[in-house]
Amino acid sequence: MEPQPRPAPIRVVFVLLPGSLVLDWAGPAEALRIANQRLRAMGQPERFAIEFASPRPTAMGSVGVALAGLSPLPTTWDGPGWVVLVGLPGDAITIDNPETQDLLHWLRGLRFERDRLELVTVCAGAVLAAHAGALAGRRATTHHHHLGELREVEPRCDVVSNRVFVIDPPLYSSAGVTTGVDLILHRIAGLCGEALAAQVAQTMVVALRRGPQDPELSPFLAYRNHLHAALHRVQDAVSEQPQADWSVPRMAEVAHTSARHLTRLFVEHAGVAPLAYLRRLRLATAQLALASGASVTRAAEQSGFGSDTQLRRAWHQFGLPGSPSEAGSSSRA
């Protein structure tokens, strides 16, 4: 059997303007770098060729760090590529400056196609894409502070709120800041496999990867606005294995406290009872399974519900629209 040809590396061009939010591009770029590093360690070729481009050779980042040696905006594409647009500081995106005008002119000359030249936006990068006319007829999201602005700039865009990221090839948009890492991890998983993406997430200490069906304020991150170390330890353990056979006494063992005291800690610091917290995480896990094509029965098993009936009961208890069956059917449509 003849060896399969190796896929061409994807040219990933992070486009930076003066003031570009550093975390929007540094996190995703690091994820791609670590993916390449892991591939090399396994004797495989790198999949991502990372570049940083700008209308000018230098730019000042959002935290006051000068960025130099930036490449010109590409004029040719010889293989698969991604254009990554990132956010800028401020309540609204200003486009009346020479650098942004040059960027928009360049974007309007690009033709985005699935698996050839794709557009990735992080945070208010979606607003820049909208100003260039790249979001007409597309589904997209952005940081919650810019949702109204995005709708105003491009009324023909189906703007999705409260989502970590939205996939509408050749457009991939994320809500911003750390969600750009979630989106890139998702793309790494699709191209290089879930195992490699998990290794990258572990290296970056990303405790839980979020998916396109997760709200921007994920249930896995809710109830965590406190500083109680023992309670965080319990929440970490439950989040990592929501399908495990958890009970309040077992959670209390993780916290090294009594079951009664753990319940008081949950109510006082997290604002939720332990078993209600567990059901919410299991429900989020079931939603992910349904979105991936699992049956209702399989989703209930994977998430720790004892039966389809328990999953449906939790579904309605937390006020989710429709039913698990409908959610599974829509994901397979």
Overall average pLDDT of the 247-272 stretch: 95
Q: What is the pLDDT of residues 118-158, one digit of tens each?
A: 999 999 999 999 999 999 999 999 998 999 999 999 999 99
Is 212 inside a domain boundary? no
Task: Examine the fold and report which residue of 138, 169, 203 is the final residue of a domain before the chain moves on.
Answer: 203
Q: What is the pLDDT of residues 304-314, one digit of tens each?
A: 999 999 999 99
Same domain as 254, residue 141:
no
Kindly indicate the confidence band of residue 61, based on its pLDDT and cuts at 50, 70 and 90: very high
Is 4 inside a domain boundary? no
Task: Examine the fold and report which residue of 203, 238, 270 is the final residue of a domain before the chain moves on.
Answer: 203
Same domain as 328, residue 181:
no
Kindly indicate the confidence band of residue 204, based on its pLDDT and cuts at 50, 70 and 90: confident
pLDDT for the residue 169: 95
This prediction has a pTM of 0.67
Q: What is the pLDDT of residues 229-249, one digit of tens each?
A: 889 889 888 988 899 999 999
Kindly indicate the confidence band of residue 208, based on its pLDDT and cuts at 50, 70 and 90: low
Instruction: Estimate the crossing angle of helix 308-317 against helix 274-291, to 10 degrees.
Output: 110
Write the DSSP assignment of 211-256 as a string of letters: -TTS-SS-TTTTT--S--HHHHHHHHHHHH-TTS---HHHHHHHHT
Give the other-Cβ count within 10 Å of 257's Cβ.
17
Task: Examine the fold and report which residue of 142, 169, 203 is the final residue of a domain before the chain moves on.
Answer: 203
Is 215 inside a domain boundary? no
Is 217 inside a domain boundary? no
pLDDT for the residue 198: 74
Is 224 inside a domain boundary? no
Distance CA 112, CA 104 (A): 14
Same domain as 191, residue 62:
yes
Overall average pLDDT of the 49-77 stretch: 95
Distances 217 to 143, 154, 178, 208, 315 between C-alpha atoms, Å: 11, 24, 12, 13, 18
Same domain as 119, residue 72:
yes
Same domain as 189, residue 266:
no
- In the chain, the number of structural domains is 2
Is 199 inside a domain boundary? yes
Strand ordering across the sheet containing 171-174: 48-53, 10-15, 81-85, 117-122, 171-174, 165-168
Is 218 inside a domain boundary? no
Kindly indicate the confidence band of residue 50, based on its pLDDT and cuts at 50, 70 and 90: very high
Same domain as 251, residue 170:
no
Same domain as 95, residue 21:
yes
Q: What is the pLDDT of residues 11-24, one digit of tens each?
A: 999 999 999 999 99
Same domain as 194, residue 59:
yes
Same domain as 93, residue 180:
yes
The CATH number linked to 120 is 3.40.50.880
Its domain, for residue 35, covers 10-203
Same domain as 140, residue 82:
yes
Is 27 inside a domain boundary? yes
Same domain as 301, residue 177:
no
- Tell me the three state secondary structure of residue 171: strand
The CATH number linked to 320 is 1.10.10.60
Check if the beta carbon of residue 291 is closer than 8 Å to that of residue 211: yes
Same domain as 183, residue 56:
yes
